[in-house]
Structure 1
């Protein structure tokens, strides 16, 4: 399975508040970036336009940085990659490397039919957390592979307070209905 990144290099947008809305890479080169803030604030940033790491190198780094966290190293790596993809807008090449890294994690599978919070059906990349019995799913449009949202489904055992969460229960769901890029933090898109 291959999911191709479709996004442009916009990971730096979260730091634009330090550069007056200018491209952070350019502001750094021109010495106009605040010294008070670190140069790299997110794992998806590529310094100086560097080539993205290979999936193996990226996965190794994720395992190293998340060591001792979460229910298991594999589940924490899967969750971390999901957090990076959801919480940032990495360059297309890095997005592709993140998907390829996720595909290398033991237990990652395709789900043929998953529904996001808006009721849209798609395919999902998923992993079962063996400790909790919860399957975490990243849902994509079948045709375009655009990211639609996420859901978590209880698939094994009974969980929650006094075992009240039965297998098949969707315990979390989300949907991305609009996604846009703006030039500055707090800017509201036109239209």
Structure 2
């Protein structure tokens, strides 16, 4: 059985980190699929700070958005808490100041919520593994030795593909296995970017391109594969959205952006049971600004409906790709809505697709 319910949320968070950072001085890479991010500093020659998976293979606790770590309510005033509660209740019933998703998006998300409960979760028998396979493409923004870091147009921008496979045992306290492979860059937004990217790729050693890691209980660096506390999440969609708002630490540009990011992460983690996934879809539908952007979106050969939101402070849009008929989350993508100094408008600058199945053995 193939299911698109996903790997650790950290892998997807790294994609967003690459886009959200957008200051022009970072060369992002995968956390899970290709290692922690790398930063290129200007100088006589590029200096690459590379925290490889060999040292830090799993970084679920090291987020762009600290809200993924939160295990308690934010330290907010009573007045602010009351305002959040009013907004959540209002959005749940469609009468809040911003409302929720459009009627079309809400209908499709409700359809997905109903279908995900009817679609059986994969059963992992004794000595079997849940295999979560990911294909991801991340935008990379690099500053070379002769570039002006203050001039965004001087950056080298290209897309970096990768793959990742996680094997989760039936007994979650047992040994988990994670394989990751960084692939050769294949999409470039300038000739200079192509030269730069292929030169960087040429100098990567075998251990930087691929690796296999093992850890009991999925704690590859002492932290859980999924940073969220699933047991703390309410089953009621309105209360669930309120939970995400209240446990945000302000790392995103808005509570709505934070909630959308975290809901997407949990959906694709592979750990949320069907009832929680259904509640997550319904909570997603309560977020203001969510709309259907493409009725037939293809992601790595799979077709679904693209439902997304562009935060007013961003020049890109965040989409999830859903199959409403089955309730499966096919993947996620980022689309550059407004052209910047390097990337044309309406360009997909990152995406991740995921398939999950049960296997009898792990590497």
Q: TM (normalized to structure 2)? A: 0.38
- Correspondence 1:147 to 2:329: yes
Q: Partners of 1:142 and 1:105 in 2: how far apart?
A: 18
Hey, what does 2:348 align to over in structure 1?
Answer: 170
Q: Partners of 1:128 and 1:169 in 2: how far apart?
A: 14
Select the structure of larger CA radius of gyration.
Answer: 2
- Correspondence 1:45 to 2:230: yes
Hey, what does 2:319 align to over in structure 1?
Answer: 137
Q: TM (normalized to structure 1)? A: 0.69
What is the SS of the residue equivalent to 2:240? helix
Q: Partners of 2:266 and 2:324 in 1: how far apart?
A: 22
Task: Say how many residue pairs are matched.
Answer: 160
Contact 1:9-1:91 at 8 Å conserved across structures? no
What is the SS of the residue equivalent to 2:262? helix
Out of 118, 121, 136, the residue aligned to residue 8 of structure 1 is: 121
Q: Partners of 1:8 and 1:144 in 2: how far apart?
A: 12
Structure 1 pair 68–97 and aligned structure 2 pair: CA distance change class (3 A): same
**Structural mapping, 1:31-70, within 5 Å:** 43=228, 45-46=230-231, 52-70=234-252
Hey, what does 2:356 align to over in structure 1?
Answer: 179
Hey, what does 1:115 align to over in structure 2?
Answer: 298
Residues 72-103 of structure 1: CA distance to partner in whole angstroms, max 9, x if unpaired? 11111101100111123311111011111110
Contact 2:304-2:324 at 8 Å conserved across structures? yes
Structure 1 pair 64–9 and aligned structure 2 pair: CA distance change class (3 A): farther
Q: Partners of 2:314 and 2:169 in 1: how far apart?
A: 33
- Correspondence 1:158 to 2:335: no
- Correspondence 1:188 to 2:359: no
Hey, what does 1:100 align to over in structure 2?
Answer: 282
Structure 1 pair 44–98 and aligned structure 2 pair: CA distance change class (3 A): farther
Select the structure that is richer in strand.
2
Unaligned runs of 5+ in 2: 1-106, 124-167, 177-216
The 10-residue stretch of structure 1 (92-101 or 138-147) with the greater mean CA deviation from structure 2: 138-147
1:54, distance to aligned residue in structure 2 (A): 0.5
Of structures 1 and 2, the one with the larger relative CO (CA 8 A, separation 6+) is: 2
Structure 1 pair 14–80 and aligned structure 2 pair: CA distance change class (3 A): farther
What is the SS of the residue equivalent to 2:357? coil
Q: Partners of 2:346 and 2:230 in 1: how far apart?
A: 37
Q: Partners of 2:304 and 2:326 in 1: how far apart?
A: 10
What is the SS of the residue equivalent to 1:87? coil
Contact 1:44-1:84 at 8 Å conserved across structures? no
Q: Partners of 1:74 and 1:113 in 2: how far apart?
A: 25
